[in-house]
Amino acid sequence: MATLSVKPSQRFQLPDWHTNSYLLSTNAERQRDASHQIRQEARILRNETNNQTIWDEHDNRTRLEERVDTVNRWKETLDIDRGCLSLNLKSPNISLKINPTRVPDGSSTLQQWDDFSQFSKNRAEAEMKEAVELREAIALTIAETNNELEAQRVATEFAFRKRLREMEKVYSELKWQEKNTLEEITELQKDIQHLEDDLRRKFMNLKLCHTRLESRTYRPNVELCRDQAQYGLTDEVHQLEATIAALKQKLAQAQDALDALYKHLARLQADIACKANSMLLDTKCMDTRRKLTVPAEKFVPEVDTFTRTTNRTLSPLKSCQLELA
């Protein structure tokens, strides 16, 4: 009879199947609704931004065209007046004209021209004033942004330094715990060795007592009696057996304690390695962030590299860096 090569999966009840199907369906609908909402908002935003961009471009283009036309009219008028000023009695292109005193269609009076010029001047001054205010607002915004960024940079560096100090403290504590654990393991191994030596001696003593008792069973006739020596050897055997049992129990407890110490030492060393790696990464981050205040072309690692503390050696971190390398 053929057997299954794979263990059957867990069986589920029909309500569980319906519940799972319902959850899958509702989650799919919810995710589709969220996706549809995001797509609609994205389309609205695209349309609004496109329309705003088109309108701004059209408005600015119209203003520029009006400005160009105005300047061109000024330039054309200036060229005509300069040409009139350069004419004299000996100019070759002077002649009599038909009705030169007529008023051309679309001509304006001096007052209208002056009003229009004043309006253009006022409008230009207003736009210049707005431009100055806008530049001042931009400069103020840039200054505020720079101040906020500087404050954030200082706060971030303070957080980095604080975190590094915390990790250094924890790192030192873990190294101290590792040292004490290693010392305790050494002492416990010595005690285990002493217990094993005592057990071997106690077994030898027990063998001696057994041999003496067995040898005394061969005493002849009436001499085969339970005398004080017999009772003493019997008591010694019982005492040695109890001592051996106690030593075995204590040896087992010591072995369990040694295993627990080794496991805890492995966890300590793994955590120490993680802490050392974290301190190394944070130190590299501080070295990288140092370039925010020192230009890259002027960055000198021997001078600008971040140092966490002063006036003391940093042997724990340096040793961990060497181990990680």
pLDDT in tens, 125-166: 998 999 999 999 999 999 999 999 889 988 988 998 898 898
User: Are the C-beta atoms of residues 209 and 240 closer than 8 Å to each other?
Assistant: yes
pLDDT in tens, 22-45: 777 787 888 888 888 888 888 888
pTM here is 0.50
The one-letter code for the residue type at 211 is T
Give backbone dihedrals phi and psi of 104, rounded to 5 degrees, phi first.
Answer: -65, 145
Tell me the C-alpha distance between 213 and 59, whole Å: 121
Contacts of 271 (CB under 8 A, 6+ apart): 174
Q: What percentage of the chain exceeds 70 in pLDDT?
A: 84
- Calculate mean pLDDT across residues 82-97: 79
Tokens of 324: 């990680």
- Calculate mean pLDDT across residues 45-73: 85
Q: How many CB atoms lie within 10 A of CB 170?
A: 15
pLDDT in tens, 169-207: 989 999 999 999 999 999 999 999 999 999 999 999 989
Tokens of 315: 């042997």
Tell me the C-alpha distance between 284 and 314, whole Å: 15
Rg (CA), the chain: 50
CA-nearest of 323, 313, 321 to 281 is 321
Q: How confident is the model at residue 88 (pLDDT cuts 50, 70, 90)?
A: confident
Tell me the C-alpha distance between 321 and 276, whole Å: 7
Tell me the C-alpha distance between 150 and 283, whole Å: 20
Q: What is the pLDDT of residue 298?
A: 55
